Chain A
Amino acid sequence: MEPILQVQHLTHTYGVDTPFERSAVEDMNFDIQDGEFVGIIGHTGSGKSTLIQHLNGLLKPTSGRILFSGRDIWAQPKKIRDVRFQVGLVFQYPEYQLFEETVYKDIAFGPANMGKTGAELDRCIRNAAEFVGLQPQYLDRSPFELSGGQKRRVALAGVIAMEPRVLVLDEPSAGLDPEGRESLLRNIRDYHHKTGGTVILVSHSMEEIARNVDRILVLKSAHVLMDGAPGEVFSRSEELLAAGLDVPQITRVAMALRRRGVLVSPAVYTVEELERELLALRKGGAGC
């Protein structure tokens, strides 16, 4: 099947012809399949934000192309808005973009821009609110009297309500308390299961990425450093650490065990996996 998003030789340079010229993204290549749950991880300044703003056409590549279901999104610059409806992008701290009088109206902004009206619009809004775990009674409230976490959910619903085929989330859980973090991520996982849509999750928390995604892209100084399933990526933990990135705590434990001679797989990244590995070792009689 054709990939839903293809990034081909993407390069983006800021401040061309000035002393501040600097490439935030350089010759990146990867495909994203329909229905995948992809995590993008990298340091501040590794090009994450620049990359995702290309996926929905907010930034224009300096060179290279982005294909959305096989078509170059910049083939018809006038139609770029349609791409933005198909690739929904949720920015960091999205609660700062709320502006309407009621939560309902704010969520409606996106789908209404698409031209949806009446019952169809209402359905989109209520569905989106349900996905992010907003109870119906919140819909008539002003978004400005909600708590930070609730506001974030409203903003998220505002993008989900456009029913995009690809949902891109930039650090959706930043600044939330652990409980809010976990419940928001659960909502995103459920959304992925129920709709079967493609989700791209940008984060710098390895734990968060490891527990949710099917595939990880590791970015480092404007390039793709690694691309693979979480197990594959974490089996190269030494490289990750050398690149100044974190690895999940359990992977650290596994690394420490290996150094002490307990030969668990280097690719473990959840407690359950490590438990299984250790039990298997004990049964096999190997180990220390």
Chain B
Amino acid sequence: MLKDITLGQYFPGNTPAHRLDPRTKLLLVVLYIVGVFSAKFVISYGVMILTLIVCARISKVGARAMLRGLKPVLIIIIFTGLLNMFFTPGDPLLSFWIFHISRQGLRLAVFMVLRIMLLITGTFLLTYTTSPIRLTDGLEQLLNWMKRIHVPVHELAMMMSIALRFIPTLIEETDKIMSAQKARGADFESGNLFQRARAMLPILVPLFISAFRRADELAVAMECRCYHGGEGRTKLSPLRYAGRDYFALAAGVCLTAGVMVLGYFGF
């Protein structure tokens, strides 16, 4: 059913990774991505894989949960792998009929697939260990300097947290409307593409109306509590860097720098 959709799911927990400041984790993810892109050879990839495994261990996320995040992009991964494998010219390794696999192609394919997998599972680790609210909070703080160039950082962060908050509500609502229309004999499963698109109308119209109604109600409720944007707004639990954040950041910088050096020297 619709309820099974997971969007950047958060696994509550109380590990060192959960306790890290969200800003630290965001910065670490940036460092990690830089690291993955600078890794070029077996040893540097090995270091990145090891890093990911250690981080997953620390945050107590199981292998299955990590791999589940790859499911939506499985097709992209397979395509990347195949395209790189067959269409990279170089020393022939294997060839049959019109297919030729070169040594370079195979290498590139393996590394590309590995890179995509590392990128996705790594960023998933962030959403697994950080609640959406803390994540937007961290993002807002990190991007605070952009206010000087008139980017509405607070408003954007607020919009993001409201959107995240309403995803489950809207999914539930969609479920309800679907059942109600099915009770009136609506048929979503048969017909050609055009007919199916038309069959969505009885769901989309009520869904949009209710989304607008909710938005109106929320706006009024916020107004009633004197919400007027980020100016002069204080936080219930302000973010503060702790010792572990400095430690984690230092480790991240060292690691990325190390991988870049390794890549530079061709390992």
Question: Of the 9-residue stretches B7-15, B157-165, B175-183, B257-265, which lies at the interface with chain A?
Answer: B175-183
A56–B184 Cα distance when bound, in Å, is 10
Shortest CB-to-CB span from B61 to chain A, Å, is 17
Binding site for A on B (CB under 8 A): 176-177, 179-187, 201-202, 205-206, 209-210
Find the B residue at minimum CB distance from A144.
Answer: B209
In contact, A84 and B185 (Cβ under 8 angstroms): yes
Chain B residues lying within 8 Å of A56, measured Cβ to Cβ, are 183
Chain A residues lying within 8 Å of B185, measured Cβ to Cβ, are 81, 84-85, 109-110, 113-114, 162
Provide 6 A-B residue pairs closer than 8 Å at the C-beta atoms, listed in order of the A residue: A85-B185, A88-B183, A91-B180, A96-B177, A97-B202, A162-B185
Given A109-B202, A144-B209, do A97 and B180 touch, yes or no (CB 8 Å)? yes
A109–B210 Cα distance when bound, in Å, is 20
A114–B201 Cα distance when bound, in Å, is 18
Residues of A in contact (CB 8 Å), total 23
6 extra A-B contacts, CB within 8 A, seeds A58-B179, A96-B176, A159-B184 = A88-B183, A91-B180, A98-B206, A109-B185, A158-B184, A162-B185
In contact, B187 and A99 (Cβ under 8 angstroms): no
Given A113-B187, A159-B184, A162-B185, do A53 and B202 touch, yes or no (CB 8 Å)? no
A96–B181 Cα distance when bound, in Å, is 11
Binding site for B on A (CB under 8 A): 53, 56, 58, 81, 84-85, 88-91, 94, 96-99, 109-110, 113-114, 144, 158-159, 162
A267–B99 Cα distance when bound, in Å, is 86
Given A81-B185, A113-B186, do A53 and B209 touch, yes or no (CB 8 Å)? no
In contact, B205 and A99 (Cβ under 8 angstroms): yes
A98–B204 Cα distance when bound, in Å, is 11
Chain A residues lying within 8 Å of B179, measured Cβ to Cβ, are 53, 58, 91
In contact, A113 and B184 (Cβ under 8 angstroms): yes
A57–B78 Cα distance when bound, in Å, is 40
Shortest CB-to-CB span from A76 to chain B, Å, is 15
Find the A residue at minimum CB distance from B184.
Answer: A110
In contact, A97 and B177 (Cβ under 8 angstroms): yes
The listed residue with most A CB atoms (<10 A of its CB), out of B185, B201, B202, B210, is: B185
Chain A residues lying within 8 Å of B182, measured Cβ to Cβ, are 58, 84
A193–B184 Cα distance when bound, in Å, is 23
Given A96-B177, A97-B177, do A84 and B183 touch, yes or no (CB 8 Å)? yes
In contact, B187 and A97 (Cβ under 8 angstroms): no
A88–B183 Cα distance when bound, in Å, is 7
In contact, B210 and A96 (Cβ under 8 angstroms): yes
The listed residue with most A CB atoms (<10 A of its CB), out of B181, B183, B186, B187, is: B183
Shortest CB-to-CB span from B98 to chain A, Å, is 44
The listed residue with most A CB atoms (<10 A of its CB), out of B184, B185, B201, B205, is: B184
Shortest CB-to-CB span from B263 to chain A, Å, is 44
In contact, A162 and B210 (Cβ under 8 angstroms): no
In contact, B206 and A96 (Cβ under 8 angstroms): yes
Find the B residue at minimum CB distance from A98.
Answer: B206
A98–B184 Cα distance when bound, in Å, is 12
A84–B185 Cα distance when bound, in Å, is 7
In contact, B176 and A91 (Cβ under 8 angstroms): yes
Find the A residue at minimum CB distance from B203.
Answer: A99
Nearest 5 pairs of A and B residues by beta carbon: A113-B185, A99-B205, A110-B184, A97-B180, A89-B183
A114–B186 Cα distance when bound, in Å, is 9
A99–B206 Cα distance when bound, in Å, is 6
Find the B residue at minimum CB distance from A107.
Answer: B184
A91–B180 Cα distance when bound, in Å, is 6
Shortest CB-to-CB span from B261 to chain A, Å, is 46
Shortest CB-to-CB span from A52 to chain B, Å, is 10
Shortest CB-to-CB span from B203 to chain A, Å, is 8
In contact, A91 and B183 (Cβ under 8 angstroms): yes
